[in-house]
Amino acid sequence: MIFNDLRDYIATLEKLGQLKIIEGASCDLEIGAITEIASFRKTCPAVLFDSIKGFKKGYRVLTNVVSTRLRERIVFGVSNDLTDPEAVRSLETPKTMRSLSRVDTISLAEVASAGRWPLHLRDLICNQGS
């Protein structure tokens, strides 16, 4: 299965019943605790945190992305019907890559070329600015 972007993958997880959506969690301790608790569940859902306290609407966090064999295989495009050794062998053969469309400008490139790139990734992640 090929995904165009993370939204496609999230939609697939939702259709398969592999996604739990949590609204209004705090990034202080709740996201980490909920992620860890979910990882110990037998079903271990992927967890999408939305409407995170202290952040603008639309900032989301996805955890437990490949925490099960099924999700791991979905990401790598491997059939869930294969045994583990067969799955590994299937990954040894490179897949045909699809070409990407050329884009002249993107916001990240504009930020980097203007010298506004944060010195630390932490500044980018933790900046709750306007």
Cα separation, 30 vs 77, whole angstroms: 32
Radius of gyration over alpha carbons of the chain, in Å? 18
Write down the H helix ranges in the chain.
Answer: 6-15, 30-40, 69-76, 84-92, 107-113, 121-126
pLDDT at residue number 130: 42
Q: Where are the domains of the chain?
A: 6-95
pLDDT mean values, one per 10 residues, the chain (130 residues) = 86 95 93 94 93 90 93 90 92 76 65 56 51
pLDDT of residue 120: 57
Distance CA(71)–CA(57), nearest Å, equals 27
| CA 73-77-78 angle, 5° bins | 55
